Amino acid sequence: MNVALRRKSFVIIIAAVIVLAMVYGFFPKAVDVDLVQVKRGPLQVTIEEEGRTRLKERFVITAPTAGYLERITAKAGDKVKKDQNIIVLEPLRSPVLDSRSRAEAESTVTATEAALNAAVEKESAAAADAGYMEKRIERLKNLYAKGSISKDQFDQIEAETRKARAIQRSAQAAVEVARSELERAKTLLQNYASIENTAGHNTVYVASPINGSIFRIFKESEGAVNVGEPLMEIGDSRNLEVRVEVLSSDAVKIQKGTKVFFKRWGGDGILEGVVRVVEPSGFTKISSLGVEEQRVFVIADITSPSENWSALGDGYRLEAHFVIWDGKDVLQIPTSSLFRVNDDWAVFVEEKGKAQQRLLKIGNRNGLVAEIISGLNEKEKVIAHPDDTVNNGVRVNERSAL
Q: CATH number of the domain that 202 lies in?
A: 2.40.50.100
- How many domains does the chain contain in total? 3
- Comparing 367 with 293, the larger pLDDT belongs to 293
Same domain, 284 and 329: yes
* Helices within 201-247 (DSSP H only): none
Same domain, 262 and 369: yes
**Could you give the CA distance from residue 113 to residue 106 in angstroms, rounded to a whole number?**
11
First vs last Cα of the chain: how many Å apart? 59
Tens digit of each residue's pLDDT (9 = 90 or more) over 70-109: 999 999 989 999 999 999 998 887 776 777 877 887 788 8
Tens digit of each residue's pLDDT (9 = 90 or more) over 164-218: 888 888 888 888 888 888 888 877 777 555 445 444 557 889 999 999 899 999 9
pLDDT for position 195: 47
Residue 401's CB: how many other CB atoms inside 10 A? 5
Domain boundary residue, one of 235, 258, 293: 235
Same domain, 120 and 215: no
Same domain, 161 and 209: no
pLDDT for position 28: 60
Same domain, 223 and 286: no
**Could you give the CA distance from residue 371 to residue 201 in angstroms, rounded to a whole number?**
75
Asked if 262 and 68 count as a contact pair (C-beta separation under 8 A), the reply is no
pLDDT over 70 for what percent of the chain?
A: 91
**Could you give the CA distance from residue 82 to residue 211 in angstroms, rounded to a whole number?**
5
Residue from 167, 144, 168 nearest 157 by CA: 144
- Comparing 20 with 67, the larger pLDDT belongs to 67
Domain hosting residue 202, numbered range: 59-93+196-235
Same domain, 67 and 52: no
pLDDT for position 359: 93
pLDDT for position 400: 66
pTM confidence score: 0.64
pLDDT for position 63: 93
Same domain, 385 and 268: yes
Asked if 69 and 63 count as a contact pair (C-beta separation under 8 A), the reply is yes
pLDDT for position 373: 93
The answer to the question of residue 2 being in a domain is: no
Same domain, 387 and 298: yes
Numbers of helices and strands, H then E, in the chain: 4, 22
DSSP notation for 289-320: TS-EEEEEEEEEEE-S-GGGGTT--TT-EEEE
Same domain, 47 and 70: no
Asked if 36 and 338 count as a contact pair (C-beta separation under 8 A), the reply is no
Same domain, 381 and 296: yes
Asked if 235 and 59 count as a contact pair (C-beta separation under 8 A), the reply is yes
Domain boundary residue, one of 187, 208, 226: 187
Same domain, 224 and 350: no
Same domain, 73 and 182: no
Tens digit of each residue's pLDDT (9 = 90 or more) over 107-129: 888 888 888 888 888 888 888 88
Asked if 381 and 341 count as a contact pair (C-beta separation under 8 A), the reply is no
* Helices within 317-401 (DSSP H only): none
